[in-house]
Structure 1
């Protein structure tokens, strides 16, 4: 038996805010998800994004506490279709009131790259390959 990668799970403090954030990034959660203690969205490639409220986690792990010490709790990376889309998605999210951690820039590893924070401080990277230098 070999375990296989199936899902990314995030613990959220405000389900409605988190669902709204990820929906704005194009992740389709079911209707009514904002009011649930646990939700799942199917991502491309058979991977799921799971969101659980802090109360849900504490219901089976009474001693659980959110991480402390600064920095993001975890992170996701979302590929955009073009460098221009990185810029436009970043601007849309920041204009909607979300925290922009790192403005879009041309990274030395060949990507247009930017970082947002979701409502719980998790990093969400936006990236797209840069056109090949001629």
Structure 2
């Protein structure tokens, strides 16, 4: 199969305004699309300066997506995001100071990166990664 050009992960959010605030204000994503254009949005796309994009959608009132399946699993986390930062220790301390739960304090990995995990407003793990020094 060929023809795929890019991927666009989408998160289902229990509280879209709260999740948008987290991804925009705490992680630095910029909103670049919203639906509907007027009134309270049910979907917002956000991006980082490198072109990475993420979709944030309010969970449907009946819990079903447009595909007709449940938007929430019965157990476990639904999503895990990895974002890169130049200073894992500093940004995790800043995020913790803002009240975002730290799931794993910064630590060095066997493959050379420094990583930490925080939770987004829906409890999804977000891995903050600092690339290995070259």
TM-score for both structures, normalised by structure 1: 0.80
The gaps in structure 2 that reach 5 residues or longer are: none
Q: Distance in 2 between matches of 1:65 and 1:7?
A: 17
Contact between 1:76 and 1:124, CA under 8 Å: does it hold in 2? yes
2:50 is aligned with 1:49: no
Q: Secondary structure at the match of 1:66?
A: coil
Partners of 2:34 and 2:97 in 1: how far apart? 25
2:74 counterpart (57, 68, 72):
68
Q: Contact 1:40 / 1:49 at 8 angstroms: preserved in 2?
A: yes
Asked if 1:77 corresponds to 2:82, the answer is: yes
Larger helix proportion of the pair:
1
Q: 1: CA distance between counterparts of 2:33 and 2:50?
A: 22
Give the Å deviation of 1:59.
Answer: 6.2
Q: RMSD of the TM alignment (CA)?
A: 2.6
Structure 1 residue 50 displacement after superposition: 0.5
Provide the C-alpha distance between the structure 1 equivalents of 2:132 and 2:65, rounded to a whole number of angstroms.
45
Runs of 4+ in 1 over 6 A off after TM superposition: none
Cα displacement string for residues 39-65 of structure 1 (whole angstroms, at most 9, x for unaligned residues) = 011334544210111117736355524
Q: CA deviation at 1:28?
A: 0.9
Q: What pairs with 1:1-134 in structure 2 (closer than 5 Å)?
A: 2-23=3-24, 24-29=26-31, 35-55=40-60, 58=64, 60-70=66-76, 72-81=77-86, 85-131=87-133
Specify every segment of 5 or more residues in structure 1 that has no aligned partner in the other structure, as ranges.
none
Q: Secondary structure at the match of 1:89?
A: helix
* SS of match in other structure, 1:126: strand
Matched residues, number:
128
Quote the offset at 1:114 in angstroms: 0.3
